[in-house]
């Protein structure tokens, strides 16, 4: 089932008298349950693509459909609500609220909507991520790897249509990076969570089922992992 679709997405930034084309005609389809990595050099447009897929930014042209809903025409308030309910976002920096416990940080998307917590699902997530014993701690009392686990748990709590991860291992050492990638794969496999990973880390990208490469705002390569292994 198609869960994400981009039709001829362009993003042009005005910089004084100059125009900078960050995305130049992106066509992309992601099926439910896919784990897709997007790679490319710095400035290739991959982070701009993630922001547009998450409704953080709007395309200059084209459409972005998430579960059949066109998010490219939403205003800021509509996009924020849709993002909270349908798009899980994981960044390099964890963006946890320092004065709230890990439990409340994870549950924040539900609390904002006054939604009832599915306790069984909550326990499944925190146990899978190995932070069930750290729920009453504050973020500053956790290691970087544990904080990223909490950020992933928060992104999953609303059962989002898609999880977007922007360099989630970029602030971690190799051991924690491997663990975070294993946890993303676990959520993809056990929860059938659709994931789009933005990364410059080739080892991280090779953990995905499908690898897209972007250069100069265009998709220049779209391959399955087994196709890479066959070469």
For 134-144, what is each residue's pLDDT tens digit?
999 999 999 98
User: How does residue 128 score in pLDDT terms, banded at 50, 70 and 90?
Assistant: confident
Q: What is the DSSP letter of 173?
A: -
Q: How many residues does the chain have?
A: 231
Tokens of 17: 């008298």
Q: Residue 231: pLDDT above 50?
A: no
- Cβ neighbors of 144 (< 8 A, separation 6 or more) are 94, 171, 172, 176
- Cβ neighbors of 204 (< 8 A, separation 6 or more) are 37, 169, 177, 181, 197
Q: Residue 229: pLDDT above 60?
A: no
135 C-beta neighbours (distance < 10 Å), count: 17
189 C-beta neighbours (distance < 10 Å), count: 11
Q: What are phi and psi of 47, to 5 degrees?
A: -70, -35
Instruction: Provide the pLDDT for residue 19.
Output: 86
Give the angle subtended at the CA of 119 by the CAs of 116 and 124, to the nearest 5°. Answer: 135
For 2-55, what is each residue's pLDDT tens digit?
999 999 999 999 876 788 899 999 999 999 999 999 999 888 999 899 999 988
2 C-beta neighbours (distance < 10 Å), count: 11
Instruction: Provide the pLDDT for residue 71.
Output: 92
Tokens of 144: 């970087």
């Amino acid at each position: 089932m198609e869960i994400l679709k981009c039709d001829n997405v362009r993003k042009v930034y005005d910089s004084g008298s100059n125009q900078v084309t960050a995305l130049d005609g992106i066509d992309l389809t992601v099926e439910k349950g896919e784990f897709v990595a997007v790679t490319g050099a710095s400035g290739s447009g991959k982070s701009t693509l993630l922001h547009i897929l998450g409704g953080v930014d709007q395309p200059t042209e084209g459409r972005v459909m998430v579960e059949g809903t066109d998010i490219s025409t939403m205003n800021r308030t509509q996009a924020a609500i849709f993002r909270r309910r349908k798009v899980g976002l994981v960044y390099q920096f964890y963006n946890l609220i320092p004065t709230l416990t890990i439990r409340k940080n994870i549950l924040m998307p539900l609390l904002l909507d006054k939604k009832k917590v599915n306790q069984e699902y909550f326990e499944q997530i925190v146990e899978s991520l190995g932070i069930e014993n750290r729920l009453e701690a504050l973020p500053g009392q956790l290691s970087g790897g544990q904080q990223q686990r909490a950020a992933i748990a928060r992104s999953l709590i609303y059962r989002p249509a898609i999880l977007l991860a922007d360099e989630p291992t970029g602030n971690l050492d190799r051991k924690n990076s491997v663990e975070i990638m294993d946890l993303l794969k676990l959520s993809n496999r056990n929860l059938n969570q659709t994931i789009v990973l933005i990364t410059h880390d080739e080892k991280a990208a090779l953990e995905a089922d499908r690898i897209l490469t972007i250069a100069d705002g265009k998709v220049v390569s779209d391959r399955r992992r087994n196709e890479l292994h066959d070469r």
